[in-house]
Amino acid sequence: MISTTNWVITIAVLTAVVIIDFIWAISNRKKETSMREVTLWSIFYVSLSIAFGIYMGHWLDPQSQKEFFAGWLTEYSLSFDNLFVFVIILTKLKISRERQQLALLIGILFALVLRVIAISVGAKVIAEFQQVFFLFGAFLIYTAVKLFLESGKDETHDEESKVITYLSSKGIKPFSIALVTLGATDLVFALDSIPAIFGLTQNVYIVITANIFALMGLRQLYFLIGGLMQRLVHIGKGLSVVLGFIGVKLIFHAFHGINIHEIAGVHIPEITITQSLTVIISCLAIATATSLFSTRDK
């Protein structure tokens, strides 16, 4: 159980970091973001996430630490899909590179607030209705199959284009449209990521902090990987395997939750968080390695 003190300290520290990042983004809104800056910020956020997960052992058990790292890695890797859409939105709206970082930061902060609300609602639903894990699991498996089949294909993102066209017709300025669409797009992606992390842990503290740490470094990751995104051609398939695996785990968990431990004499396995973490890391590593190898001539 997380104490009120730990909640207050965590929120205070994360808020302070976000404020510092926000001030830095505003003060540099008229400057083009350099690779050195985004590299340092990316290293800072990844290091901060790892340090938080390690330090978490002072007030939570080793199981919770593994759940945090599994959740953070899953959310962070799923954010790659966000980045592809962010590139399309900012390019289509012709937002200058100097103003992109501010647009990304505000859009991500907006998404953070919406995600916290969605997580709180999801936690209440799970507490009252454990069978919702069947729905979550089926949805993740469906999403995994869809992502696997569509991976590597050119996507037009018609929905985002329609929203942009509609808002433009109402006379809304491109920068404002960017803020709205970035936040709304990230909320849509949360429909996949939130059920996925609840499949790894039901601890709301871990779910919220893993999401926050995954999103906090998203702006820097956008500028850092740049053209590398075009080389990660297999990352979609890797993510689809991760989502499918978590979907199956959720369905197994749902069966155990209603005291069904065997089907037709076959025992339903209980997938541990260590096994989940191993699968997540392996899938992402293999997808990244094979992507870089297959595009080595580009």
Global pTM value: 0.77
Give the start-to-end residue ranges of the domains of the chain. 4-294
Higher per-residue pLDDT: 189 or 77 = 77
Does residue 152 register a pLDDT over 60? no
Higher per-residue pLDDT: 268 or 18 = 268
- What pLDDT was estimated at residue 50? 92
- What pLDDT was estimated at residue 120? 86
- What pLDDT was estimated at residue 1? 66
- What pLDDT was estimated at residue 248? 92
Mean pLDDT, all residues of the chain? 81
Does residue 286 register a pLDDT over 90? yes
- What pLDDT was estimated at residue 274? 87
- What pLDDT was estimated at residue 156? 43
- The C-alpha atoms of residue 180 and residue 208 are separated, in whole angstroms, by 22
